[in-house]
Amino acid sequence: MGRILTLTLLLSLFFAAAHAQDVIVRKNGSTIEGKVVEVGIDKVLYKISQEANAANFVIRKNELLRIEFGNGQTIWFDRRAERSNAKVRERNEPIVQDEELGKNKIDFSPFKALDSGPGFGISYERILDKRGYFGLLLPFTLTIPDSYYLPSIGENSDDQMYYFSPSLKVYPFGQKRVTYAVGPTLFTGIGTKWQYTNKYDPLSGVTTSSEEGRQRFRMGMIVNNYVNFQITPHFQIGLNAGVGPRYLDREKYHSSTYRNGRMEITGEFNFNLGLRF
């Protein structure tokens, strides 16, 4: 029984190989299926029938783009098209995660903009699965005051905040040299809001200045979009931006607590440089 199955398999493979057709592709996009008999200096001889005594047909090589043989080999006659095809394949081919890229990323953000002010930060990301479709991002951000206290009439305020924003990143196309990801970010921020007030008394002609520091707590969610450029297997440049709702925005001064009673929109923009290992 085993010999019969083996013989049947060999005969099937032989039959398939014997009847495998070559495909001649013209520059205008049309194709011819048949059997290439000879590739000459300026012409190609082929048959459109598998019979040994079938008629031969001739086509000039300058009309052809390529020949795809039944055994899997491809011959190109247009070198420019061949190079273009190779570049497209290379660009669309996913980077093999286990061979070329590490699953760990450390990014430094020299510039980060939030609604509470500009800042900088550092983050760590771990690719969670073998195919590179999911990642866990753990960023830490420090915002700095974006203005300086000036002795003008009225009120002015600055924020100095610390944010921790764990994020789930979904890579719909996997890990490539140019990679897109999207995902939710749950942010929590604590810090100090400095409130400056200048009051002018027209009767005495005296300006009174006061400075008030309020403890601030914020929490919300942002849907971020990420674009990553893998310059080398170990160096990358990234951008991300997103918007979302801020659920809590609370300020505390001495024994009094002030709450923002409504949900507001918040957002962020980030530029980072990273190391992958």
Q: How is 149-188 classified by DSSP, letter by letter?
A: ----SEEEEEEEEEEE--EEEE-TT-S-SEEEEEEEEEEE
Candidate ranges 7-16, 224-233, 259-268; pick with highest mean pLDDT: 224-233
Query: Tokens 């398999």 — which residue?
Result: 9
Report the C-alpha dihedral over residues 47, 48, 52, 54, rounded to 10 degrees: -90
Confidence of residue 250 (pLDDT cuts 50, 70, 90): confident
End-to-end CA distance of the chain: 54
Q: Which residues contact 235 (CB under 8 A, 6 or more apart)?
A: 273, 274, 275, 276
Which CA distances in Å does 230 have to 20, 106, 111, 251?
41, 13, 19, 41
Beta carbons of 144 and 159 less than 8 angstroms apart? no
Confidence of residue 98 (pLDDT cuts 50, 70, 90): very low
Taking only the tens place, the pLDDT of each residue in 156-181 is 567 789 999 999 999 999 998 899 99
Which of 121-125, 185-189, 203-207 shows the lowest per-residue confidence on average (mean pLDDT)? 203-207
List residues bridging with 269 in a β-sheet. Answer: 113, 241
Looking at residue 96, what is its pLDDT? 44
The CATH number assigned to the domain with range 97-276 reads 2.40.160.20
Q: Do domains 2-92 and 97-276 have the same CATH topology?
A: no
Confidence of residue 61 (pLDDT cuts 50, 70, 90): confident
Q: Which residues contact 126 (CB under 8 A, 6 or more apart)?
A: 103, 104, 105, 135, 136
Mean pLDDT of the chain: 82
Question: Nearest CA to 187 among 154, 155, 139?
Answer: 139
Query: What single letter denotes the amino acid at residue 99?
Result: E
Domain 2-92 has CATH 2.30.30.100: yes
Domain ranges, ordered by start, for the chain? 2-92, 97-276
In DSSP notation, 74-123 reads: EEES-HHHHHHHHHHHHHHSPPPHHHH--SEEEEEEEEEEETTEEEEEEE
Kindly indicate the confidence band of residue 17, based on its pLDDT and cuts at 50, 70 and 90. very low
Whole-number pLDDT of residue 266: 92
Assess contact for 221 and 265: CB atoms under 8 A: no
Which residues, other chains included, contact 124 with Cβ-Cβ below 8 Å and sequence gap of 6+?
A: 104, 105, 106, 107, 137, 138, 139
* CA 92, chain centre distance (Å): 13
Q: What is this structure's pTM? A: 0.58
Find tokens 């600055």 and name the residue. Answer: 158
Contacts of 36 (CB under 8 A, 6+ apart): 22, 24, 44, 45, 46, 67, 69
Q: What is the pLDDT of residues 116-166, one digit of tens each?
A: 889 999 999 999 998 899 999 999 999 987 654 444 545 556 778 999 999
Q: Give the confidence band of 186 by pLDDT, cuts at 50, 70, 90.
A: very high
